[in-house]
Every structure is written in structure tokens, then in C-alpha cells.
Chains A and B, each alone.
Chain A
Amino acid sequence: MIHLVQACINGLLTGALYAVIGMGLALIFGVMRIVNFAHGAFLMTGMYATYVLFDKFKINPYLGFLPAGILLFAFGYLVYRLLIQPIRDKSDFMQILMTTGISLILVDSAQLAFGADYRQTSIALVNSVFRFGPFTANAAAVLSFVIAAFFIVGLQVFVARSRTGHALRAIAQNREVAPLMGINVTRIQGLSFALGIAFAGIAGGLLLPALYLFPSVGEDYTLKAFVIVVLGGMGSIEGAAVGGLALGVAESITSLYLGNQWALAIDFVLFLLMLSLKPSGIFGRQRA
């Protein structure tokens, strides 16, 4: 029982970061109907940005993720205007090719710039542990959980309350009618793409101290992001938050009871089960 609770704690700590990743993808999918196959590559870019800040300017990753996120926001907006906007009304196939292409370019650029080496940021916090009774929690993981929670709630509030958030949801509900209501679709789509990418970058920065960094580190996270979004219901932002936490816990419990080698398999088991049994996701709604 103690082990089960411990696994849930570990799972929630990782899951919060999954939630941030998933929400970014859900935002992009919800507003643009574009499946972003480059999501993991943007996450990797965020990791390298945070890494460079750490390596060159000694900025702690738990601060460095913020400038990295802002950088990724600008980069995401640029990518939208130059590459995504021209094909946004083309077939799904075009969009898959485009985002996959962006992913390849980002990964190979990182390989050119940084080589294939595995890098690690050693900060003291990663080695300190909170102990309460029989349970433990890594201090760095707790900090990244708190930061992630702030962004999860922040995005929810932004989408639900702000004027831009309303516009965003209006486009998600109906792309044809939204411009008739005076909404600038290009601007809002650019904004949501940039915001989605920024979230991937922020998650990357927060993951940096806990992971090894190498150019293809993002690949697994593209797949995880899809699973999270499907769990939460395609394009539902709050669904993605819950999906992320659920995936973290599922992986952690699987590695405890079945072994670490099954933790990746559970992603796809959940993915297939969800698609075949309840394709509308945990919350059972179709759209954001």
C-alpha cells in the first residue's frame, strides 16, 4: 500500500509536466485542427534553450525555463506565419508532412549544433529529497510540479475568462462563423500556435534537470502528447491536463507492478483502449 501511494506521488509529479505538454498540443489541435507532429521537437528546442542559459550564463533551469518559453513563443509565432498559415486550409496530409518536416529539421539542427552527446545539468536540488513518514518526494520534482500547476491553472483561466480566450474557443467551435463575429482568425491562430509551442518549451525547460538531453529526446514526448490528448478528449484543454496526470500515474504504477519495460507500453495500451472504447476521451466531449 505504501508503495502504491509512493508510485502515485511519483506519477503525479511527472504527470504535471505531461499535462503542460498535452495542453500545448490540445490548444493547437483545438483551435487549428492541426496535429502537431513537431511537438516533441519543440520541447527539445526548449530544453536546449534552457540548457544553453544554464551552461553559458549559469541560470538555474527553474528560472531559465521562462526566457526559453518566451523564446519558443516567438519562434512558434514565426513558424506559424511562415510555414503553417500557408497550408492551414490544405489537406490533413499536407499538415502531417509539414509538421513532420519541421520536426526533422529541428532535430537535425540540434544534432549539428550540439552533436549527439547526452548532456546532464547537475543542480544541487535534484539530489535533495523531502521525506514525510514513509514517503519521499524529490525536491526538484516538487518544484517543477508547483511551476507546472501554475501554468496549467493559468492557461485554463486564460481560455475561460479572457477576451482572447473567448475568441480562441469561438474558433475552436466554428471556424467559419468566428470571423463573421469580428474575430481575426489569423491572429488568434498564430497566438494559439505560439502559446502551444511555448508550453512545449516550458515543459522542456522544467524536464531538463530530470532528463538527459540529446537531439532526439523529444520523440517519445510527441507520442506521449498524442496519448494525453486522446485520453482527455481531442482538443479539450482541461481534458489534456487530467490526461497528463492520469498518464503519469499510469506509467508509475505500471513500472511498480509490471516493471519499467512496460511503462512505455502502457502509453499505447491506453491509447488504443481509449480510441476503441471511448474515442471522445475521459470527459466525453468532442471539442474544446
Chain B
Amino acid sequence: MRFKTVTVFLAVFVAMLLVASCSKQAGGDTTRIGVITSVTGSLAAFGEAHKNGYLIALDEINAQGGVLGKKVELDFYDDQSKPDQAVQGVSKLVDQDHVPVLLGSYSSESTKAILPSVTQRQVPLIIPTATADNVMESKSPWIFRICAGAGDYAKSTIAFLKDSGAPKTMAIVYENTNFGQSNMKAMNAAAKAAGINVVAVESYEAKSPDYKAVLQRVKQANPEVIYFASYLLDAGTLMRQAQEVDLNPKYYTSAGTGFAAAEFPTPKGAGKNAEYTFSVSQWLPDAKWQGSKEFDSEYFKRYKSHPAYHAIQAYESLHAAAHAINDAKSLDSAKIRDAIRNLNLSSTPFGPVKFDANGQNQHEVLITQVQAGKYTVVYPPEVAAGKPIIPAPRWNQR
């Protein structure tokens, strides 16, 4: 009896495996590109921006005939905002679905986690948004990054501060995963090099939304500048609780991400409390690059909201991958990798795209401030659309 049960169970299991593997063989007249991002989980807002950006690029590519004469199809894998799921995604997309090139993931934590398995499988990966600097430290020839990193964020913020009142003290508040840690380290080093005294360095766990004690400690240290490295939910809560704790630095600055998300100045994020916060930004709808406005209006037409830089980084990653496949004239991963390395796109809506020897795209970083509920570029002066408001008014005077 028991033996029989086991046999039946095994038979069903094997049958399921067969069905699963057969269904993946279909679709010979399309080219699949693998995408890992956070469709659900704590970072779903960013995953959605990614998806929206990818889909616009996908339609543009297919409207122009796809790649190598075939339509492109995106093979999405949802990492649920968890690094271990992202790693599963690599094996699903590469081992099972045989995609020739990968894009993703969203967060620095998930992206760092997939690097070894990507390198091991010898498939090129284009990273759209992970800013932690350690994702580029692997020196793997298969890894490319389209966005600027934590070091660039820190450098730009320091340059802005020096030109805008030259404050002397700073506190760094960061979420305790790869993204926050990397941006904290980069800023700590950059601030010290610039002669700014770092008076407090505070980490928090993003999943428990009580940051009052953290902000209380920052308040005691009384810094002129606070530099946040936060995702979206925590950024909103931090600003709300900053008001509750009555924390009044002259400058609220940040490493983009949550503080630069499209939702942040809306009631879904920090709402009114977002006002006067500075953020680094990699792109805005009114950026000077050819095609920025068109991307913005297409995005608005489809999704009824304006994009932040996360969407266009996804958009541009897919375009870069499609370009490379066409250049390589092959779906062979090694040939595509060489083509990505040789890419030289002088004009894209995200600016010029060209990867250096380490696979890093050189990208300019802007400083924005939330003014009247909108991101306004305030630095560097040659591209600024408005003047920075300094200091941020005290909470009881707003």
C-alpha cells in the first residue's frame, strides 16, 4: 500500500516536470530577454517603475522590427524584494528559459546576491538601478551598470553643499542593507575628505517603521546636514517622524532612491513633509537629453503619472541590450557581452551610454529639491531650473 502511494506520487511528479519543461520550448520566433525585478514586496513601487520603463522600451524595439528580425519578449521574474528569490530568478531564466542576456535586479542587495550565479553561468547582466559600489567590485567581465553609483552620489552632494553655504557638520542615517551601507560608507569618506565633521552615523531596519529613537539620537548630535539613504516606505515615515520629533537641520539631503521616487512628494510617500528635501537624481523629465520629454509624455500617457529615474534606467537597459544583440548579430551570450562592451550610444533619453573597462557607464548626477510638491533641479548651476531653498524652515514655521 505504502509502496504504491510512493510510486503514484513519483509518477505525478515526473509528469509535472515533463509538462513544465515542454511548455518552455514554445515561442521559437521571438527572442526572450530575462528581467529580474521586485514586482511585489517592500520595493514593489520601484519594481513597478522598472516594469513600466521596460514595457515602453519593448514596444519601441518591436515597432522597429525587434532584434535580428524577431520580436522581443520579456521574461519577467519577480524577486519579491528578496535576494534569495533573485538568485532563484537567475537559475529559472538562464537554466530553464535559456535567455541570452539578463537585466536586473532592482535593489543593491538582490543585485549583489545574483552576481556569482550570473558570472558562473556566463550570461551578460545589465544593472539598471543598483547604486551600491560593491556590485561593481567583482571585476566580472559579465557585469555592466547603467546607473551612477554611491560614490558619485556622495561626491555630487558634497560639491553641492560646498557651493551652497558650506556646512560643517553632518549626520548619516541609512537603511541597513547593501544600498544603505554602501551609500553610508561613500558619504562618510567623502564628507571627511571635504572637512565636514560627521557627528552621527545611524542605521535602521527598514521593516519596522519606528525610527523615532534614531531621529532622537540625530537630534542630540545637532547636525547642520542630514544625509539619508532610504527606500520609499522608510523615506516617507522618516520625514513624518522627523516632524514628530521636531528635528530641524538646515539641509535634508539624501542618496536618491526613496527620496527621489515619483511617489515621495505625494500622499503615498511623505506628502507635505517631503518639502525642502534635497536628493541626488540621475534623470528628470526635463533633463537636457534628447528624448527625455518624449519618454515622460509616453509614460504619462500610459500610466497617468510622471516617471522618476528608476523607470528610464530600466528603459535604457533594455535598449542597450537590444542594441548589443543587433550589433552581435547573434544570440550567443559571449558575443552579446562583447557587443555591450563596445556600445557607444551618444544620444539616448538617459544621456550618452558607454561602458568603461570595468563595465560602468559614466553618468552625470544632479541635485534636486522638492519645491511645491515637485522635484526641481538646483545643482549643478548650468542645468539648474531653480534656486535651492536653504535652510529648510523649522517644522513649527511651516
Contacts and interface: CB of A to CB of B under 8 A. Distances in A.
Contact of B42 (A10, A118, A126, A259): A118
B44 A117 contact: yes
Given A6-B216, A116-B40, A120-B233, A260 B244 contact: no
Interface string A116-155: 1110101000110100000010100000000000000000
Contacts of A212: 42, 207, 209, 233
B245 A136 contact: yes
A116 B80 contact: yes
B176 interface: yes
A115 B208 CA distance: 19
B42 A214 contact: yes
A129 to B, nearest CB: 5
Contact of A256 (B40, B207, B216, B233): B216
A260 B220 contact: no
A164 interface: no
Interface in B198-252: 202-205, 207-214, 216-217, 220, 233, 240, 244-246
Contacts of B207: 212, 214, 217
Interface string A38-75: 00000000000000000000000000000000000000
Interface string A196-227: 00000000000000111010010010000000
A211 B213 contact: no
A117 B204 CA distance: 20
A276 interface: no
B41 interface: yes
A260 B233 contact: no
Given A3-B220, A116-B80, A260-B204, A255 B244 contact: no
Contacts of B65: none
B216 A118 contact: no
Nearest to B202: A259
Given A116-B80, A117-B44, A261 B216 contact: no
A221 to B, nearest CB: 11
B203 A261 contact: yes
A29 B82 CA distance: 34
A259 B217 contact: yes
A122 B211 CA distance: 17
B111 interface: no
A156 to B, nearest CB: 27
A115 B74 CA distance: 22
Given A3-B216, A7-B213, A260-B211, A118 B44 contact: yes
Given A138-B244, A212-B42, A252-B213, A116 B81 contact: yes
B81 A260 contact: no
Interface in B18-71: 40-42, 44
Interface residues of A, number: 30
Contacts of A261: 176, 203-205
B267 interface: yes
B213 A115 contact: no
Given A115-B40, A117-B44, A260 B245 contact: no
Contacts of A220: 208
Contact of B244 (A115, A117, A136, A217): A136
Contacts of B205: 260-261, 264
A102 interface: no
A255 B216 CA distance: 9
Nearest to B273: A127
Contacts of A14: 210
A212 B44 CA distance: 13
Given A136-B244, A211-B208, A212-B209, A260 B40 contact: no
A15 B291 CA distance: 54
B267 A122 contact: yes
Contact of A260 (B44, B80, B203): B203
Contact of B212 (A10, A122, A211, A259): A10
Contact of B213 (A117, A127, A255): A255
Contacts of B240: 126-127
Contacts of A170: none
A192 B202 CA distance: 43
Given A136-B244, A212-B233, A260 B209 contact: no
Contacts of A264: 205
A61 to B, nearest CB: 15
Contacts of A122: 267
Contacts of B246: 136
A255 B214 contact: yes
Contacts of A129: 244
Interface string A236-279: 00000000000000001001100111011000000000000000
Nearest to B212: A10
Given A3-B220, A117-B40, A118-B41, A256 B245 contact: no
A58 to B, nearest CB: 16
18 contacts: A3-B220, A6-B216, A10-B210, A14-B210, A118-B233, A120-B233, A127-B240, A136-B244, A136-B245, A211-B209, A212-B209, A212-B233, A214-B41, A217-B207, A256-B216, A256-B217, A260-B213, A261-B204
| In the A-B complex, the 5 residue pairs with the closest CB atoms | A255-B213, A116-B40, A116-B80, A116-B41, A118-B42
Interface of B: 40-42, 44, 80-82, 176, 202-205, 207-214, 216-217, 220, 233, 240, 244-246, 267
Given A211-B208, A212-B209, A259-B203, 17 more contacts: A10-B210, A10-B213, A118-B233, A122-B267, A126-B240, A129-B244, A211-B209, A212-B207, A255-B213, A256-B213, A256-B217, A259-B202, A260-B202, A260-B204, A260-B205, A261-B176, A263-B213
